[in-house]
Structure 1
Amino acid sequence: MKGTILNYSTQNQTGEILSEEQLQYTFSITDWFETVQPTIGTTVNFELDANGLVTKITAITQPVFTNVSNTPLQKQQHNEEDNYNMFNWFVKCLKNYANFKDRARRKEYWLFTLVYSLISLGLLIIEIILWSYPIITILFILAMIIPSYSVLARRLHDINKSGWAMFISMIPIVGGIILLVWLCTETKNEDNQWGKPAK
C-alpha cells in the first residue's frame, strides 16, 4: 500500500500514515525500514499484518516542503479534528493515555473534561437509583486519573507552560483561578519544545 506520513513523534516513536484510500494508520518506529527517522510528508510504501496493523514501511520520496506548520497534510489533519464530536476528542485523549510530552488545544481539553464529567455523573446516578455502592463510578474515576493529568499537561504545553504548572492550583483560591485562566487561553501559534501548535 502507498501513503504519506501525517505526523511523527520522536518522543513516543510513533506516527500516523494517511493511505491513498484516505485511511489513517498508526505506526511504530520498529516498523520503519529506513536508516533515517520518518519525516512528515514523506511518501511511503507499507504493508498491513493479519491484525490490520502497519508493518514494513519504506520511503518512496522525501517531503517537498520544509514548513510543516503550513503544509496541506497538517491542515487536512486539523480539518478532520474540526469535524470531531466530543466523544472523538474523548477517545483521542484515551489513545494518548500517558502522553505528557505533546500539546493539546482548548477544545481537546474541555471536551474531554465534559465527556468525563458526564460519564461520571451518569454512572453515579445509575448506582444511586440501584441503591448500590458507587464502585463503578470510583473505578472509572481512578482509571481516568492518568489521562486527565496528561491532557492537562499537554494543554499547558500548548500555551508555553510546563506541565508542572498545574500544581499552582494548590495555592488557595488564587491558584485555581490562575490555572482556569491558563486552561482557557488560546493556543500559542508558534513552535515550542513540546512540538508544533496543536491548532
Structure 2
Amino acid sequence: MGNKTQAALWGGSKWIASAAKIGGSQRELFMNIQQAVETCFRKYVDFSGRASRSEYWWFLLAYLIVAIVGRLINQYIPIAVILVVLLPLMAVTVRRLHDIGKSGWMILIGLIPIIGMLVLIYLYVQPSQPGANRWGSSDALAS
C-alpha cells in the first residue's frame, strides 16, 4: 500500500483517488471509517447512485463493531442497532451493486440460503466499474 492509500484509510486527506492498472486505467475511491459512516447516514434513503468498495466495507465494519460491543453490554442493544442501521445498510448495499453495474434488485439473491450470500459477497468485492454507468459516473463518488 502506498503512503496516499494509507493516509486515506487512516484519516489522512479527505479523498484520494488511486489509479490501478488492471486492463486499463481505473479509479478507485478510498474513504476512512468515519467518512463512510457519515456518508451512509447522510444518504440513508438514497437508493440511487453509486458507493465505492471502501464506503460499503467500512460501514459494514462499523455496524458489526457497534453490534458486537452492544451485545457485550446488553442483549437488547443489537436489536436497537439493527433498527437504526437497517435502512442505511440496505441503501449502501444497493448503491454498491450499482457501482459494479448491477441492479439493486440483485440484493434479493441473498434470500437463497448459503449460495445467495456467497454470490453477493463475490459481487461486493468487485472493483468499481470505470467511467459512467446507468447509475452515474465514477467521478460522482467523490461528491
TM bucket (normalised to shorter chain) is 0.7 to 0.9
Q: 1:112 to 1:171 in 2, by over 3 A?
A: same
The Cα offsets for residues 140-192 of structure 1, whole Å up to 9 and x where unpaired, read as: 21111100100000000000101000111222322111111000000000211
SS for the counterpart of 2:136 is: coil
Separation (CA, whole Å) in 1 of partners of 2:33 and 2:118: 25
Unaligned 5+ segments in structure 2 are 1-12, 18-28
Match of 2:46? 99
Q: Aligned ranges for residues 29-108 of structure 1 at < 5 Å?
A: 78-79=15-16, 82=30, 84-108=31-55
Structure ranking higher on relative contact order (CA contacts 8 Å, 6+ apart): 2
1:109 aligns with 2:50: no
Q: 1:156 to 1:142 in 2, by over 3 A?
A: same
1:159 aligns with 2:100: yes
| Match among 106, 110, 118 for residue 65 of structure 2 | 118
Q: Which of the pair is proportionally richer in helix?
A: 2
CA RMSD of aligned residues (A): 2.0
Identity %: 33
Match of 2:5? none
Q: 1:172 to 1:188 in 2, by over 3 A?
A: same
1:176 aligns with 2:117: yes
Q: 1:77 to 1:136 in 2, by over 3 A?
A: closer
1:137 aligns with 2:137: no
Counterpart contact for 2:32–2:54, Cα < 8 Å: no
- 1:79 shift after superposition: 2.5
Separation (CA, whole Å) in 1 of partners of 2:49 and 2:32: 21
Number of aligned residue pairs: 117
- 1:92 shift after superposition: 1.2
Q: Aligned ranges for residues 188-199 of structure 1 at < 5 Å?
A: 188-197=129-138, 198=141
Q: Which of the pair is proportionally richer in strand?
A: 1
Match of 1:50? none
- 1:77 shift after superposition: 7.2
**Aligned structure 1 segments of 4 or more residues deviating by more than 6 angstroms:** none
TM-score, with normalisation over the residues of structure 2?
Answer: 0.74
TM-score, with normalisation over the residues of structure 1?
Answer: 0.54
